C-alpha cells in the first residue's frame, strides 16, 4: 500500500450535494482545498444517487437559493442547448416551489470541471478512517484502493451526510429513534399511456397489495397519490426502503439489496399486470440506495419545529431554506406540510452548522443540527447546496484570518457568498 502525505488548508469530507459546492466556494476564495469522496463523482444524491431534482431555487416570491448551485445548474442547461427556465412564468398550483431537473452525466462532469478549474484537489474512492487534532491542524487519514493518505489541514467540513467525521471525533450526534425511509432511484420507460386508465390501474394495484404480489413501500405515496402517479413518473423517487441505515457498509448493503428487490418486483408487476406496460423497459438504476436521514451533528444550536414553521430570523443566519416539510414514514407513507404563508422563508443559522464544543470543523447538508420535523424541511437539495457554499466561505475566511471557523461572523460569511452570486439573507 502506497503512503501519501498531503497538506491543504481545507478538507471537504464528502463531495455530495453540499460538499461539491463547499469545495468550489472555498477554492474560489483562494485557499487550497481537497475533497475526499468515497464514491466516483461529485453531486451525491443528485448524481450518483439518481435524485436529479435540485429543489427549490425559487419560491413564488422570488429566488431562494442561487450562487454556485444556480451557476452549475444553468451551465448544464446551456450545454444541453436548453433555455434557462423563466420561473416567473410557472403556475405553482400544486406546490409553492419550482421543480428543476438536471441531466446527471452532464451535471457531474460540469461540477467536476468547475471544481478542478477552481483548484480543488479531488480524491475519489477514498474514505476517512481517522482524524485527530495536532495543535491547530487536523491530521486526517483516508484509505483508497492501494493508498493510505495522511492529510494535514487547518479546517474540515463534514459533508458526508451521515456525520462520519463528527462521529469519528466522538462529538455528540442526533439520530431519530425512527428514521425516515430511504429510496433506490430507478426509472421505467416505454409505458403506453394511452392504454392506462386511472381507476383501472388503481384497482389492479390494490388487488396486488391485497394478494401479496406487492408489498407496502413498493409505492411510497399510496397514502396521497393514485397509482397512476407511480406510472407517470416511471417509478422514479416513488419507492421506500425501510430502516435505510446507510451510515455503515452493512446498512448500505442491506438497503441496496432491499431497494433492488423492490425495483424488480415493481417492474415485473408493471410489465405483467398493467395494460400498456407490456413493453416497459427498466432504463435507469442508481448504483446505491439513499437514506433521507441517519446521524447528524448536535450543533451549538438545534433548529426546532417552531423555528422552521415560524421562519425564525436568526441573528447568525447564513442561507435560506424552503417553506415546506416533506416527512416520510413507514406507517403513513409521505406527508407534506407547508408554512402558513408564502411570505415566510425559513433560515439556517451558523450555530446549527458548528458541532457542539468543537473547533475548526463545520458541517453542511444532511449533517445540520435540527430536530426531526425541521430536518425534514431543511434536507432539501438546494438548501444543502446553500449550506455547503456558506461553510466553504466560513472555512476560507477562517484560514485567511488565522482563526477557527466558528469565530467568523455570519455576516462576513453571507457577504462572501453574495460576492459569488448567493441570495442575501
Inter-CA distances, 15 with 24, 60, 73, Å: 10, 30, 16
pLDDT tens profile 144-162: 999 999 999 999 999 999 9
Span 209-268, pLDDT tens digits: 999 999 999 999 999 999 999 999 999 999 999 989 999 999 999 999 999 999 999 999
Cell of 52: 436529479
What DSSP string runs through 294-317?
--EE-BSS-B-HHHHHTT---TTE
Locus of grid cell 463523482: 41
Cα–Cα nearest to 50, from 118, 116, 104, 108? 104
Q: How far apart are CA 43 and CA 47, in angstroms?
A: 5
Burial of 277 per CB tally in 10 Å (0-12, 13-18, 19+): buried
Q: End-to-end alpha-carbon separation of the chain, Å?
A: 48
Alpha helices in 305-404 (DSSP H): 305-309, 372-378, 381-401
DSSP state of 97: B
Q: What is the percent of the chain where pLDDT is above 90?
A: 89
Residue 130 class from Cβ within 10 Å (0-12 exposed, 13-18 middle, 19+ buried)?
exposed
Comparing 3-12, 91-100, 175-184, 261-270, which segment has the lowest mean pLDDT?
91-100
Backbone angles phi, psi at 362, to 5 degrees: -130, 170
Place of cell 441505515: 245
At 90 the pLDDT is 78
Signed CA dihedral, 251, 252, 257, 259: sign only? positive
Domains along the chain with CATH numbers: 2-177+294-419 (3.50.50.60), 186-285 (no CATH)
C-beta separation of 156 from 10 below 8 A:
yes
pLDDT, tens digit (0-9, with 9 covering 90-100), for 261-312: 999 999 999 999 999 999 999 999 999 999 999 999 999 999 999 999 999 9
Tell me the whole-structure pTM to 2 decimals. Answer: 0.97
| Residue 55 pLDDT > 90 | no
Span 396-412, pLDDT tens digits: 999 999 999 999 999 99
- Cβ-Cβ contacts under 8 Å for 348 (sequence gap 6 or more): 303, 314, 317, 318, 319, 320, 321, 368, 378, 383, 386, 387, 390
Q: Do 306 and 340 form a contact (C-beta atoms < 8 A)?
A: no
Q: According to the model, what pLDDT value does residue 134 have?
A: 96
Task: Compute the residue count for the chain.
Answer: 425
Contact 187, 301 (CB under 8 A): no
pLDDT digits (tens, 9 = 90+) for 364-386: 999 999 999 999 999 999 999 99
Cα torsion angle, 42, 43, 45, 49, sign:
negative
Q: How confident is the model at residue 178 (pLDDT cuts 50, 70, 90)?
A: confident
Amino acid at each position: 500500500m502506497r503512503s501519501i502525505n498531503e497538506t491543504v488548508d481545507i478538507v471537504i469530507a464528502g463531495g455530495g450535494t453540499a460538499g461539491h459546492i463547499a469545495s468550489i466556494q472555498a477554492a474560489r476564495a483562494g485557499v487550497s482545498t481537497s475533497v475526499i469522496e468515497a464514491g466516483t463523482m461529485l453531486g451525491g444524491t443528485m448524481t450518483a444517487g439518481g435524485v436529479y431534482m435540485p429543489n427549490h431555487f425559487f419560491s413564488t416570491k422570488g429566488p431562494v437559493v442561487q450562487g454556485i448551485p444556480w451557476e452549475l445548474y444553468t451551465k448544464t442547461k446551456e450545454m444541453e442547448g436548453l433555455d434557462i427556465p423563466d420561473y416567473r412564468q410557472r403556475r405553482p398550483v400544486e406546490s409553492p416551489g419550482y421543480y428543476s431537473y438536471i441531466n446527471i452525466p452532464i451535471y457531474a462532469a460540469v461540477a467536476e470541471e468547475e471544481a478542478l478549474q477552481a483548484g480543488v484537489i479531488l480524491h475519489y474512492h477514498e474514505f476517512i478512517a481517522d482524524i485527530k487534532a495536532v495543535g491547530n491542524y487536523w491530521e486526517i487519514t483516508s484509505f483508497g484502493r492501494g493508498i493510505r493518505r495522511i492529510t494535514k489541514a487547518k479546517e474540515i467540513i463534514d459533508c458526508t451526510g451521515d456525520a462520519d467525521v463528527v462521529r469519528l471525533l466522538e462529538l455528540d450526534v442526533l439520530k431519530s429513534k425512527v428514521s425516515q425511509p430511504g429510496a433506490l432511484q430507478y426509472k421505467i420507460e416505454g409505458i403506453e399511456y394511452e392504454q392506462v386508465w386511472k381507476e383501472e390501474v388503481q384497482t389492479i394495484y390494490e388487488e396486488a397489495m391485497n394478494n401479496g404480489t406487492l408489498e407496502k413501500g413498493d409505492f411510497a405515496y399510496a397514502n396521497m397519490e393514485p397509482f397512476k402517479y407511480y406510472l407517470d413518473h416511471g417509478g422514479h423517487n416513488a419507492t421506500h426502503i425501510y430502516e435505510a441505515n446507510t451510515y455503515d457498509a452493512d446498512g448500505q448493503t442491506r438497503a441496496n439489496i432491499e431497494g433492488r428487490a423492490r425495483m424488480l418486483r415493481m417492474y415485473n408487476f408493471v410489465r405483467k399486470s398493467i395494460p400498456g406496460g407490456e413493453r416497459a423497459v427498466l432504463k435507469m438504476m442508481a448504483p446505491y440506495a439513499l437514506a433521507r436521514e441517519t446521524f447528524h451533528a448536535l450543533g451549538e444550536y438545534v433548529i426546532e419545529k417552531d423555528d422552521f414553521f415560524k421562519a425564525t430570523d436568526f441573528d447568525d443566519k447564513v442561507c435560506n431554506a424552503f417553506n415546506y416539510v416533506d416527512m416520510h414514514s413507514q406507517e403513513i407513507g409521505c406527508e407534506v406540510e407547508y408554512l402558513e404563508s408564502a411570505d415566510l422563508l425559513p433560515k439556517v443559522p451558523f450555530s446549527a452548522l458548528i458541532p457542539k464544543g468543537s473547533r475548526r470543523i463545520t458541517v453542511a447538508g444532511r449533517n445540520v443540527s435540527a430536530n426531526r420535523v425541521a430536518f425534514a424541511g431543511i434536507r432539501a437539495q438546494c438548501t444543502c447546496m446553500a449550506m455547503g457554499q456558506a461553510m466553504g466561505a466560513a472555512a476560507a475566511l477562517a484560514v485567511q484570518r488565522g482563526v477557527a471557523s466558528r469565530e467568523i461572523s455570519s455576516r462576513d460569511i453571507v457577504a462572501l457568498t453574495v460576492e459569488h452570486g448567493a441570495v442575501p439573507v
